Chain A
Amino acid sequence: MKSLLHHLAVTFQKHDLRGWVLPLLALLVWQTVTWFEWVDTRLIVPPGGVFAVAHAEMQSSAFWLGVAASLGRDLLGFALGSIAGIVFGCALALSRVANSLLSPSFHVIRQISLFAWVPLLSVYLGYGELSKLVLIALAVFYPVALSTHEGVAGIERKWLEVARVYEFNRKQFVWRLLLPAASPQIFTGLQLGLIYAWLGTIGAEFLLRSYDTIGLGETIFRGRAAFNIELIVFGMLVVGLVGYLLSQGAMHFERQALRWRSSY
């Protein structure tokens, strides 16, 4: 009993309750203004309505299919973009020829804002899954390539000499020196990439919509078409929470993956 009380005390100290004041206050204001109808409740819907819609949606398999479709798209695009980014970043950092050939073009093309590719993509690849994946992969590619380059170019010369003394072959060179040594920057890039992947996913679902697309973006558009604001708010909250969870997960993963470094 005593230990339980102690545990509670520690938990409450750790989780500062003051942080809850603002969200609860917002909820209270929201509830009050809609309860007394001080605002147009067709536009500002009451929290209860959002909860009801959330409850109904969570029962339906269509909603979960949409979440799964969006997440699948996100992760597949992330995988494609990050592999391309790591390979490209390494190539630019390791080969002076590749660097001189590609980096000027890369830096100019990088300046074209991500979503500016959408009209061109839609003309060439249509509004299907492929164009969405390309957009997501592109969103991931830039931060991963930049960070990988930074990481690999920053490897100390001493270590390269050690690798040469030990006569590492190419495979050993990549897996035992290159990637471990550059891993902090690569992980930073991947973490950024994961955030951008979600941005790209939602953007792709909004801008590259087709009648047969399923996903979270479509849920929101369903709400918009039916003027179902509860559904829009709910969809938005899910989009935000998934984004939040993805970046929290990435941070956790990064800490786990880089734990070996702290043993030095």
Chain B
Amino acid sequence: MKVESTYSAATAGVAAAGSEWPGYRGVIPIKLNRVLWASNGLLIPGMVFFLWQLAVTRHWVPEQLLPPPSLVWSSLVEMLASGELWEHLSISLGRLGLSLLIGCIVGLLLGAMMGVSRQARAYIYPSFSVLAQFPVIGWVPLLIIFAGIDEALKVAAITIAVVPPVAINTFNSIVNISGKLLEAARVFGFNPLQVVFRLIVPATVPGVFNGLRQGIMQAWLALVFVELLASSEGIGYLMVWGRQLLQMDLIVVSMLVIGLVGLILELLLGWLEKRVQPWQPAVSEKRQGL
């Protein structure tokens, strides 16, 4: 009987995804239920915060290792007010933007070339597919030799991170355009321009966008990596600086900012995805169950 009950609880969890929390149903108004349900998510952060504060006030951990929340907050406010945080962040975002621009152009061209021309595909694809599986950060030591440790290094490293996902997704989405669609275009007597703009572009938008999403995430990863490894400004450098001085508040503030930028990027991409392909639900939306 016990087995049965745990089991049915488990299956109910899978089956009932999307409905309200069963525990409160009927007892309290639906709106309140929803609020209570959503506030569950704050429980864990709240507990962590409480423990953090407790550990500081009870001196469980030396203050150098665990700064009080108030210190993190005041550092954040101070760095925002002095413009220091924004300065580092804007440098990082500038690097990100430039590399994304170059990486997307190269990736799109490469992917489109391999997708459209069989010749190009036969020549380029084998080398590309091997190189694309090299971990991005493995390139960095070599790049340091050629590009030094200045801007060129960061832009090159991030660009290398962006190209493979954009190119692969572009390539795949062009190759996967169904023959039926092309046939239909022929039946309707589309001219080449119409084929490109009314068939190929709309058919490849989801794939290309997916590539762009992966590219941006890879770029963000690579950016933080190179800034940690070799940099004298930028948000990653701020963390290195904090680590060297053992100023934990600086490290935590930087992590918060990095997380926030990541969150904004993801939300922005979800919003953009809806704009460019309103006929499909966003990937982020599909994942909202988690």
| Chain A contact residues, CB within 8 Å of chain B | 16, 18-23, 43, 92-97, 99-120, 122-124, 146, 149-150, 152-153, 155, 157, 160, 163-164, 167-170, 173, 195, 198-199, 202-203, 206-207, 220-221, 223-224, 229, 232-233, 235-236, 239-240, 243-244, 247
Contacts and interface: CB of A to CB of B under 8 A. Distances in A.
B17 A115 contact: no
Interface stretch (B68-76, B101-109, B136-144, B168-176): B136-144
Given A103-B290, A119-B240, A240-B133, A109 B259 contact: yes
Size category of the binding interface on chain B: 35 or more
Given A105-B45, A160-B14, A153 B21 contact: no
A229 B146 CA distance: 10
B251 interface: yes
14 contacts: A16-B122, A18-B119, A95-B10, A96-B21, A100-B40, A116-B236, A123-B65, A153-B14, A160-B14, A170-B3, A233-B142, A239-B135, A240-B135, A244-B134
Given A115-B224, A160-B15, A236-B139, A104 B42 contact: yes
B82 interface: no
B140 A206 contact: yes
Contact of B138 (A23, A104, A167, A239): A239
Contact of B133 (A19, A92, A244): A244
Contacts of B136: 199
A122 B133 contact: no
Secondary structure of the B contact surface, majority rule:
helix
Contacts of A99: 13, 289-290
A235 B179 CA distance: 45
B43 interface: yes
Given A95-B13, A240-B138, 6 more contacts: A96-B16, A104-B41, A109-B259, A150-B290, A206-B137, A243-B138
Contacts of B242: 119
Interface string B30-51: 0000000110111111000000
Contacts of B239: 116, 118-119
Interface string B248-265: 100110110011101100
B187 interface: no
Contacts of B122: 16, 18-19
B109 to A, nearest CB: 16
Contact of B130 (A16, A96, A109, A244): A244
Contacts of A244: 130, 133-134
Nearest to A15: B126
A240 B134 contact: yes
A43 B255 contact: no
A163 B122 CA distance: 49
A220 to B, nearest CB: 5
A183 B34 CA distance: 33
B290 A92 contact: yes
Contact of A236 (B65, B141, B259, B287): B141
B254 A164 contact: no
A22 B11 contact: no
Contacts of A108: 259, 263
Given A101-B44, A240-B134, A150 B243 contact: no
Given A115-B221, A199-B135, A207 B229 contact: yes
B145 interface: yes
Contact of B141 (A93, A109, A122, A224): A224
B290 A100 contact: no
B7 interface: yes
B16 A203 contact: no
A223 B138 CA distance: 14
Contacts of A240: 130-131, 133-135, 138
B228 A207 contact: yes
A164 B251 contact: no
A202 B255 CA distance: 21
Given A115-B221, A119-B240, A198 B135 contact: yes
A93 B224 CA distance: 31
Contact of A122 (B243, B252, B258, B266): B243
A202 B32 CA distance: 49
Contacts of A235: 141
For the complex of A and B, the 10 pairs showing the least CB-CB separation, nearest first, are A104-B41, A19-B126, A111-B262, A240-B134, A100-B40, A239-B138, A112-B259, A119-B243, A18-B122, A160-B11
A224 B43 CA distance: 48
Nearest to A231: B141
B262 A112 contact: yes
Contacts of B65: 123-124
A173 B12 CA distance: 13
A221 B123 CA distance: 34
B13 A93 contact: yes
B127 A19 contact: yes
Residue of B7, B15, B252 with most partner-chain A CB within 10 A: B7
B191 interface: no
Contact of A168 (B7, B131, B251): B7
